[in-house]
Structure 1
Amino acid sequence: MRRPATDRVLAVLLALAAALLALPAWASVTVHFQSFNGSVLFGRYPHTFVVLQGTLDATGQPIDENYGFTARRVTPAILSGPVEHDIMVEEPKYIDSTNRHFSVTVPDEVYWRIREEVDAWRDLPGRGYDLEQRNCIHFVGAIARIVGLSIDYPERLMRKPKAWLNLMAQQNPWLNAREID
């Protein structure tokens, strides 16, 4: 035999469950800050880039993108000054072999601001890549500022993406990121 109080509690729980099921799913996009160790002598140079993954809250659109800033062609001309630039999109198998330093979850409006920044770098006029003044580190730094990180560009780290991301982690202790060797 049921008790009226038990029936009321059960009815409230069922109503609550139905209300929760009717709510839209909570969605977000996570920005992962990555580095690749590279080798100046063999294969690819050291590099940093961002990976964006998740779901847009407003539309439910899944996001799985990545962007890095680089020279269009890797030649000795890079050492002499500005060269043609490109936004590089990496293959998933390459991303799996890189270092994930830390991640920041952002709302839709920040995701769209990041995409605007990527487009702005892609659409730079002329020769936009400069190893000293506008390289992959500067690009990732621009995105890091958008997500609210404190950024510094020590000259000694401008060709060391992994060390630079480790410094960013130190300068933003709320990330709870570990240093990558």
Structure 2
Amino acid sequence: MVRIIRNLAVLFALACSSMASAAVEITFHSFNGSVFVGRYPHAFISMEGTLKDGTQIKENYGFSAKKATIAVLRGPVEHIVMTEKEKWLAKTNRHFTLTMNDEQYWKVRGHVAAWRDAPGRYYDLDTRNCIHFVGEIGKILGLKVEYPDDMLRKPKSWLNHVSKLNPRLDARQVD
């Protein structure tokens, strides 16, 4: 009987430690890009970790125009929520990482779905681009976010700006 109780205690302790360590980290990225490489500057997030129910998470999301054409300069165009391949993730600027709880994770996923499923032409270079997409995710996590006009097309500078607005992040400025 003592052995059964001891085994149950060990299993309970393992379950509790597993639940306590359940967390998903979210990292805010920028990609420098270049017109010549065919990849424009971009901001996006990646998430990795474990939810309380044990579900493993490894995802990333960014928001972009569905097609990179001159039409982007004239107003709203068709949009896409995109995911980056591992080779691109390795080449990004990682600005800062936060730990999310399950509720925040599901709010972020709801945001992703809302922008992905928005009807019509939802991408606008000046009012609804990758920076705005990532900024709204930052707000879900309690970050102070601003969208200065001179940074709307400069994801790296903008994420550095968000870092300065939120000193608790203790984030380094990316050159």
TM-score (norm: length of structure 2): 0.91
From 90, 93, 98, give the equivalent of 2:84: 90
**Local SS of the residue matching 1:23:** helix
> 2:30 & 2:87 partners in 1: Cα distance?
14
From 50, 57, 82, give the equivalent of 1:55: 50
Where does structure 2 lack aligned partners over 5 or more consecutive residues? Answer: 1-5
Aligned to 2:3: none
> 1:143 & 1:150 partners in 2: Cα distance?
11
Aligned to 1:114: 108
Aligned to 1:74: 68
Aligned to 1:129: 123
From 146, 150, 156, give the equivalent of 1:152: 146
- Does structure 1 residue 23 correspond to structure 2 residue 16? yes
Aligned to 1:33: 28
CA spacing shift, 1:22–1:132, aligned 2, 3 Å: closer
- CA-based RMSD of the aligned residues comes to 1.5
Deviation at 1:24, TM superposition (A): 4.5
**Local SS of the residue matching 1:44:** coil
Aligned positions, number: 166
Deviation at 1:95, TM superposition (A): 0.5
> 1:40 & 1:46 partners in 2: Cα distance?
9
Deviation at 1:150, TM superposition (A): 0.2
Deviation at 1:40, TM superposition (A): 3.0
1:82-133: CA deviation from partner (whole Å, max 9, x where unpaired):
1000000111111011011001101001000000000000011110000011
The one-letter code of the counterpart of 1:115 is: R
**Local SS of the residue matching 1:153:** coil
From 155, 159, 168, give the equivalent of 1:161: 155
> 1:78 & 1:175 partners in 2: Cα distance?
33
Aligned to 1:10: none
Aligned to 1:3: none
1:7-47: CA deviation from partner (whole Å, max 9, x where unpaired):
xxxxxxx89x8363352502001110000001134321000
> 1:120 & 1:24 partners in 2: Cα distance?
34
The one-letter code of the counterpart of 1:38 is: G
The one-letter code of the counterpart of 1:21 is: L
